[in-house]
Chain A
């Protein structure tokens, strides 16, 4: 029984979640202009892959991430500013697609937290030094 199951697992074809088309040209090819490529890479590292949501599109092997890399490279090669490309994507997917959170009322705790923690740490330390002294 166990052997039959193993044989079955070996012959079972894995379910494909990928298309039959090759990746877009600019998904994995660098732009000829090194400055543009550097700008594109920096942006790709700050854009979230929509399929494997913990990765950036620079790191992801998902096809949609490849097509997004192609989109970023093509737009930057056309002379668009990286921030304009980011804004275009945020318009479609929300601020979530960018790894750089916007400063807005909802995200202020994020920016305030380091300061608050530093103040709390200083306060704790003060109590400690006073007792020693």
Chain B
């Protein structure tokens, strides 16, 4: 009997430990693509802005690694990311983009205002390529190696502190 008397207290203590642990280490809500290490799914997207080519999976297996940025003109964190992408492009990282659910004039206005580090921009106006890539939001970026295999995924805006990791992933994708 004396041992059983403490059972509720023990159960309560376990509950407190469980709750305290979850408060201390919050759940990671990011959904990582499971395609890392696999070949890029085949796709072909029309140009998102006039005067710049669209993007297909064939453009991403060119013998040198490329960064693919998934963005949208209506995405606020993408604005925060824009100067960092410009800096990456300045350092010689070839960047292509997929514009999600966007109009050409909106993409053009976004690039005019926040800079244009992209060599190609495909327009994914129904998020179908985004889903095929296992991406669940904007912005996200994928490092594609020279053979067109997905090597790394960055979820959320690339901030200045993420630049070394991106550059290293690009180096490793060579």
- Residues of A at the B interface (CB closer than 8 Å) are 15-21, 24, 50-51, 53, 63-64, 67-68, 70-71, 89, 91-94, 96-97
Contact = CB atoms under 8 A, between A and B. Distances in A.
Contact of B34 (A20, A51, A92): A92
Contacts of B76: 15, 17
Contacts of B34: 91-94
Which of B74, B103, B126 has the most CB atoms of chain A within a 10 A radius of its CB? Answer: B126
B134 A24 contact: no
Which of A18, A19, A91 has the most CB atoms of chain B within a 10 A radius of its CB? Answer: A19
SS class, residues of chain B in contact with chain A: loop
Interface string B115-148: 0000000000111101111101100000000000
Contact of B100 (A19, A51, A93, A97): A19
B128 A20 contact: no
A92 B41 CA distance: 10
A18 B72 CA distance: 10
B137 A50 contact: yes
B87 interface: no
B35 interface: yes
A18 B74 contact: yes
Nearest to B106: A20
B137 A21 contact: no
Contact of B33 (A18, A21, A53, A93): A93
Nearest to A15: B76
A38 to B, nearest CB: 23
Interface of B: 29, 31-35, 72, 74-76, 100-103, 106, 125-128, 130-134, 136-137
Given A18-B74, A67-B128, A67-B131, 18 more contacts: A19-B74, A20-B74, A21-B125, A24-B126, A51-B136, A63-B127, A67-B101, A67-B127, A67-B130, A68-B131, A71-B131, A91-B35, A92-B33, A92-B132, A92-B134, A93-B31, A93-B33, A94-B34
Nearest to B75: A17
A64 B126 contact: no
Contacts of B132: 92
Contacts of A71: 128, 131
A96 B30 CA distance: 12
Contact of B127 (A15, A20, A64): A64
A64 B128 contact: no
B134 A93 contact: yes
